[in-house]
């Protein structure tokens, strides 16, 4: 486990998207949607584009480049052209701060 602080929970409003790059890891996109906070690899599996520039709606993050949409709960795309899933990460809220476990990335079952 390697939880890293991302931001204050209050600074991540509903619909908010943050790109988090830990010094020793890959970029992670952290979002709040439908009241929950999610973390996923910040690299579209279609064309290597940052999803933190995307559109967020109903727990889905859409890539601005070609429109693939990823379910933040599973990391799986449910809109083409992407077909491969992204890793999702464990989150914890502690004393009003949002933390991501940067070692917890995994591919969820569809
Ligand atoms: Fe994201 Fe093509 S790079 S859909």
Domain CATH number, residue 70: 2.102.10.10
Pocket flag, ligand 1, residue 31 (CB < 6 Å):
no
Answer yes or no: is 108 within a domain. no
Domain count, the chain: 1
Pocket flag, ligand 1, residue 72 (CB < 6 Å):
no
Answer yes or no: is 29 within a domain. yes
**What number does the ligand 1 atom closest to the CA of 81 have?**
4
Q: Which domain holds residue 7?
A: 3-101
Handedness of CA 101, 56, 107, 86 (dihedral sign): negative
Model-level pTM? 0.95
Q: What is the mean pLDDT of residues 23-32?
A: 93
Pocket flag, ligand 1, residue 55 (CB < 6 Å):
no
Answer yes or no: is 106 within a domain. no
1 pLDDT tier (thresholds 50, 70, 90) = confident
């Amino acid at each position: 486990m390697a939880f890293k602080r991302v931001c204050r929970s209050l600074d991540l409003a509903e619909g908010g998207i943050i790109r988090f790059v830990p010094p020793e890891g890959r970029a992670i996109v952290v979002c709040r949607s439908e009241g929950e906070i999610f973390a996923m690899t910040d690299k579209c599996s279609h064309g290597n584009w940052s999803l933190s520039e995307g559109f967020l709606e109903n727990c889905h993050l859409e890539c601005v480049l070609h429109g693939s949409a990823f379910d933040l709960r599973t990391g799986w795309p449910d809109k083409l052209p992407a077909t491969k899933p992204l890793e999702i990460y464990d989150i914890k809220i502690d004393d009003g701060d949002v933390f991501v476990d940067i070692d917890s990335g995994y591919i969820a079952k569809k």
